[in-house]
A and B are shown apart, each in its own frame.
Chain A
């Protein structure tokens, strides 16, 4: 079983698959509508100069979110590291 961590703890450049999202909260619904859903593959592209917000690549485009929002998204690191 690969380890499940918070999206906010993912290392820059690594790929992961979203496992869980909180049911409630405005950030969660907006993230889902932007395509961040359980089962989708994401890459943490980079962080802004102060380490926050994060930039992820999901469904072929780039999306930003704050660390505080990423803390509630659980991801599983993909084994096929490049």
Chain B
């Protein structure tokens, strides 16, 4: 490790951020799929913080690295983007941070641009915009090994000369070039780019007028003002996100005036600027990129001949999904049993260590049991995050979106919603957190809203119990049971697509989503990055949802425990006497038309924490000792004997079916509510979601039960 140095810095013509006493801030920008996260991990290691930019649901990742002399440097990993002309909240944040428009984030002192060397031309478009910002910058040519393998020969010294900034060849995945980058980041005399390009004549006078106004009315530095003027003239629809400062009125008026003039004259102003940037880049690339003759299709092309083939493509997709679900349901079982055991052991230990009383029960039956009920799903969530990371880093995710786009467009979404929805079959939480790859905010919201309708694994215990109670004995064929199970999955799936269509058509109307997406070359995943990503996601879930889950667990414990019955009564009598019991009885008129009584009502209330809690609640309510195992035979027998006060059986086949359908649609998962709250940044959407899902559940159950009843079932 380099020794920390306290030598005074000599004064230089360009005052460097490193000469300041505060910790300098460097921003890392680049296109998606250029290895930006790998470079960020290589620079900062485990010293990372993940949060959100205030007011928007864009992830803010910062880390600390050290200069050659051991001085700390803050690195902000900005979301991947192709352009500073923003079209999504993610891209708007990149633009606003770089332009110093965000009050919550210091304007970076230095910009590290990372590009994929195998695809220099398109990657340089963003760099070209960034160099206009008038900040010292470093260009990192990542994946140099792959560029060489593809037959490209890049003249690094020439590029450095043309741009006038340090250019560092790098293989972030192998750690090559990181030292050189760190040395460059430690320099105190980093120059501004001397790259100049010609702004076309009709635009140039608008740029200088806007620049002058931005300096005068918006208090911008001249260089930043020029960059901002250029950006304002590229954007057709300026995406504004919370936390960024708006333009001053005079500047906005000048901008509107020019746009109106050009549109009147039929001048394609935004296109003209893009054209001249690409012309400048093409001239640069002609100097820098010496291309050897390509020989035949690349490895990626050959893989894609199978992976997106009209027939084999579906088989590959089906195979990958089967592997995903098999591993979720088989591999996860072992750690889930360990966690189950550990939570039970912890509860027992606390029970032994603390004096009996309400405080002890609050810990064991409230906090430990409640949070344990969520943590038990962590193995599934981790495996799902692992697979999502793997699919993303290999490049398969884009292919899945490509082949599914046509089907998803039927309900107004695009192919990128497919993987998050599919993941929700295991658990809606990773599914919802994976919607961050969907750029359009409305599409993302619709995907979040319908994702919990996909039958997740927590519904399985409820389905299994109800099928067992519905189709008693061994006379019923396995086929009927499997058929019923599939019916529940189909109901949820059709429900999700139906609601997506409905929401896109009426509630969140918008432009039809674009499907302009890069299909990146296939790459070997880096296990380290995938594992890192998995742990980071899971940590985020626990941190973000943890407090809400703990709170609701304790609330539900309180509702089922108080008020206390006089004397020593059975748990069965106690829960009947509790607030939850009262609520169940109060709820009975509402759920009576669905064929449910107040005892089922208690089950519905208590399983609001998580759906599988319904099974254990039924155990308590019908006085069946929890054997701790998976055997529900005594419970099934108890359910079959349960009666209405008049003596009619409670759990008729129709009621069992109705109850299953209720669990298909109703939002009975506090973790999902907590995650949706974090992902949408408000209580509005999780509450709406809970309302529409549970409302739909009630309506459909009403139709099914009353219809079935009328038909004599």
- Give chain A's interface residues, CB within 8 Å of chain B: 21, 23-24, 26-35, 37-38, 45-46, 48-53, 55, 59-66, 68-69
B515 contacts the other chain (CB 8 A): yes
Chain B's nearest CB lies how many Å from the CB of A51?
8
Residues in A neighbouring B304, C-beta threshold 8 A: 46
Q: CB distance B236 to A24 under 8 Å? A: yes
Residues in A neighbouring B15, C-beta threshold 8 A: none
Contact (A63, B519) CB under 8 Å given A29-B236, A30-B514, A46-B308:
yes
Most central of A31, A32, A68 by chain B CB within 10 Å = A32
Chain A's nearest CB lies how many Å from the CB of B34?
11
Residues in B neighbouring A64, C-beta threshold 8 A: 398, 402, 405, 515-519
Q: CB distance A21 to B308 under 8 Å? A: no
CA gap between A64 and B628 in the complex, in Å = 52
Q: CB distance B402 to A53 under 8 Å? A: yes
Question: With contacts A33-B85, A59-B122 known, what are 8 further pairs, Cβ within 8 A?
Answer: A26-B87, A26-B237, A26-B514, A32-B274, A34-B82, A35-B125, A50-B406, A64-B518
Residues in B neighbouring A59, C-beta threshold 8 A: 119, 121-122
Within the complex, which residue of A27, A51, A60 is in contact with B516, where a contact is CB–CB below 8 Å? A27
Most central of A24, A62, A65 by chain B CB within 10 Å = A62
Chain B's nearest CB lies how many Å from the CB of A30?
5
Residues in A neighbouring B300, C-beta threshold 8 A: 62
CA gap between A49 and B313 in the complex, in Å = 8
Q: Which A-B residue pairs are the 3 nearest by beta carbons?
A: A23-B268, A50-B406, A62-B519
Chain B's nearest CB lies how many Å from the CB of A21?
7
Name which residue of chain A comes closest to B398, CB basis.
A64
Residues in B neighbouring A45, C-beta threshold 8 A: 301
B568 contacts the other chain (CB 8 A): no
Q: CB distance A60 to B271 under 8 Å? A: no
Chain B's nearest CB lies how many Å from the CB of A15?
14
CA gap between A18 and B118 in the complex, in Å = 23
B70 contacts the other chain (CB 8 A): no
CA gap between A46 and B519 in the complex, in Å = 12
Q: CB distance B125 to A66 under 8 Å? A: no
Within the complex, which residue of A28, A32, A55, A61 is in contact with B119, where a contact is CB–CB below 8 Å? A61
Residues in A neighbouring B274, C-beta threshold 8 A: 29, 32-33, 37
Chain B's nearest CB lies how many Å from the CB of A46?
7
Residues in B neighbouring A28, C-beta threshold 8 A: 271
Q: CB distance B516 to A32 under 8 Å? A: no
B205 contacts the other chain (CB 8 A): no
Chain A's nearest CB lies how many Å from the CB of B33?
10
CA gap between A26 and B13 in the complex, in Å = 43
Within the complex, which residue of B268, B275, B515 is in contact with A66, where a contact is CB–CB below 8 Å? B515
Query: What are 19 A-B pairs at a CB distance below 8 A?
Result: A24-B236, A26-B236, A27-B514, A29-B85, A29-B236, A29-B271, A35-B125, A35-B278, A45-B301, A48-B405, A53-B402, A55-B308, A60-B122, A61-B122, A61-B519, A63-B519, A64-B402, A66-B409, A66-B514
Most central of B121, B405, B515, B519 by chain A CB within 10 Å = B515
**Once A and B bind, how many residue pairs between them come within 8 Å at the CB atom?**
117
Q: CB distance B121 to A69 under 8 Å? A: no
Contact (A55, B125) CB under 8 Å given A24-B236, A49-B310:
no
Residues in B neighbouring A50, C-beta threshold 8 A: 406-407
CA gap between A54 and B261 in the complex, in Å = 36
Within the complex, which residue of A27, A33, A49 is in contact with B406, where a contact is CB–CB below 8 Å? A49
CA gap between A55 and B301 in the complex, in Å = 12
CA gap between A7 and B148 in the complex, in Å = 32
B616 contacts the other chain (CB 8 A): no
Q: CB distance B518 to A65 under 8 Å? A: no
Chain B's nearest CB lies how many Å from the CB of A31?
6
B706 contacts the other chain (CB 8 A): no
Chain A's nearest CB lies how many Å from the CB of B142?
15
B511 contacts the other chain (CB 8 A): yes
Residues in B neighbouring A63, C-beta threshold 8 A: 516-519
Residues facing A in B116-152 (CB within 8 A) are: 118-119, 121-122, 125
Q: CB distance B121 to A35 under 8 Å? A: yes
Residues facing A in B68-83 (CB within 8 A) are: 82-83
B680 contacts the other chain (CB 8 A): no
Chain B's nearest CB lies how many Å from the CB of A55?
6
Name which residue of chain B comes closest to A55, CB basis.
B519
Name which residue of chain B comes closest to A64, CB basis.
B517
Within the complex, which residue of B266, B308, B515 is in contact with A69, where a contact is CB–CB below 8 Å? B515
Q: CB distance B519 to A21 under 8 Å? A: no
Q: CB distance B403 to A21 under 8 Å? A: no
Contact (A34, B516) CB under 8 Å given A29-B271, A29-B274, A61-B119:
yes
B512 contacts the other chain (CB 8 A): yes
CA gap between A28 and B308 in the complex, in Å = 26
Residues in A neighbouring B313, C-beta threshold 8 A: 49
Q: CB distance B405 to A31 under 8 Å? A: no
Chain A's nearest CB lies how many Å from the CB of B403?
5
Q: CB distance B275 to A53 under 8 Å? A: no
Residues in A neighbouring B82, C-beta threshold 8 A: 30, 33-34
Against A, the Cβ 8 Å flags (1 = close, 0 = not) of B382-399 are: 000000000000000010
CA gap between A28 and B234 in the complex, in Å = 12
Chain A's nearest CB lies how many Å from the CB of B458?
33
Q: CB distance A69 to B514 under 8 Å? A: yes
Residues in A neighbouring B514, C-beta threshold 8 A: 26-27, 30, 65-66, 69
Contact (A48, B402) CB under 8 Å given A26-B511, A29-B85, A63-B518:
yes
